[in-house]
């Protein structure tokens, strides 16, 4: 009977080792390739996030304000247009001296106009309404020459202590002036606004 020599067994053993090494190397290579693919995908997501950040969106609160009328006078501050300056400070829904309101209830058309420090190409305006909301019906912006452009007209569906967030296509002009028109006959009672934020890119 034929008996394999030690040399033959050694060759067979070495051959098995080589085959096993090739197989394991292939599996390892597949794993590394897949991992690199995942990393590339994650990097692309991060780049997209940086691209969004690179737009340098700037949120600004009003630095000054005027109005068609105000319940309060500037010297006393309460319910006057000066209360529209800065961040919201009305903490609960209801009549509050920290917000602006017109000089009469249910009078009809009223407006407020707000100025901001930095002119921007605008993409959104958020109006913080604090009492009897739902009367805003038009939003205008001015260009740097003072010409008014209507960027939104519609129904204000704000309820409670909340904000009307108006988003639109980026303007092709810079603005630092926002004019908001209200129809105070629409919602009975004192209609109060706390603050307005302007969002855009410098």
pLDDT digits (tens, 9 = 90+) for 120-146: 999 999 999 999 999 999 999 999 999
102 in the same domain as 157: yes
Quote the pTM value.
0.72
pLDDT in tens, 88-126: 999 999 999 999 999 999 999 999 999 999 999 999 999
Same domain, 79 and 177: yes
Task: Tell me: do 72 and 149 sit in the same domain.
Answer: yes
Residues 90 and 36 in one domain: no
Q: Which domain holds residue 123?
A: 58-201
Number of domains in the chain: 2
What residues pair up with 136 in beta bridges, in sequence order?
Answer: 182
Cα 104 to Cα 79, 110, 119, 130, distances in angstroms: 12, 10, 33, 17
Between 57 and 48, the more confident residue is 57
Confidence of residue 75 (pLDDT cuts 50, 70, 90): low
Q: How far, CA to CA in Å, does 76 sit from each of 13, 79, 97, 115?
A: 98, 9, 10, 21
Task: Report helix, strand or coil for 173.
Answer: coil
State what percent of residues in the chain have pLDDT above 70.
72
Strand boundaries in 7-154, DSSP class E: 58-61, 64-67, 109-131, 136-142, 148-153
Are 66 and 50 in the same domain?
no
Question: Is the same domain home to 84 and 150?
Answer: yes
What pLDDT does residue 25 have? 46
Question: Of 52-61, 148-157, 163-172, where does mean pLDDT reach its minimum?
Answer: 52-61
Instruction: Tell me the HSE value of 50 on the side-chain side, using a 13 A CA sphere.
Output: 6
45 & 71 share domain: no
Last residue of a domain, one of 54, 75, 95: 54
């Amino acid at each position: 009977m034929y008996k394999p020599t030690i040399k033959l067994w050694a060759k067979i053993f070495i051959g098995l080792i080589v085959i096993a090494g090739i197989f394991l190397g292939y599996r390892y290579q597949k794993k590394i390739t897949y991992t690199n693919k995942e990393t590339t995908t994650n990097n692309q997501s991060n780049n997209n996030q940086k691209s969004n950040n690179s737009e340098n969106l700037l949120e600004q609160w009003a630095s000054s304000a005027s109005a068609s009328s105000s319940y309060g006078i500037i010297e006393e501050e309460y319910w006057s247009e000066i209360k529209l300056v800065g961040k919201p400070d009305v903490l609960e829904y209801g009549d509050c001296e920290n917000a602006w309101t017109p000089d009469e209830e249910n009078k009809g058309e009223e407006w407020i106009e707000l100025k901001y420090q930095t002119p921007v190409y605008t993409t959104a305006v958020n109006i913080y309404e604090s009492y009897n909301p739902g009367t805003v019906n038009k939003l205008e912006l001015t260009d740097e020459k003072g010409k008014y452009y209507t960027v939104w007209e519609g129904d204000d569906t704000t309820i409670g202590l909340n904000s009307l967030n108006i988003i639109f296509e980026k303007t092709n002009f810079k603005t630092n002036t926002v004019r908001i028109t209200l129809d105070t006959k629409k919602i009975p009672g004192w209609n109060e606004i706390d603050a307005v934020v302007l969002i855009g890119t410098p």
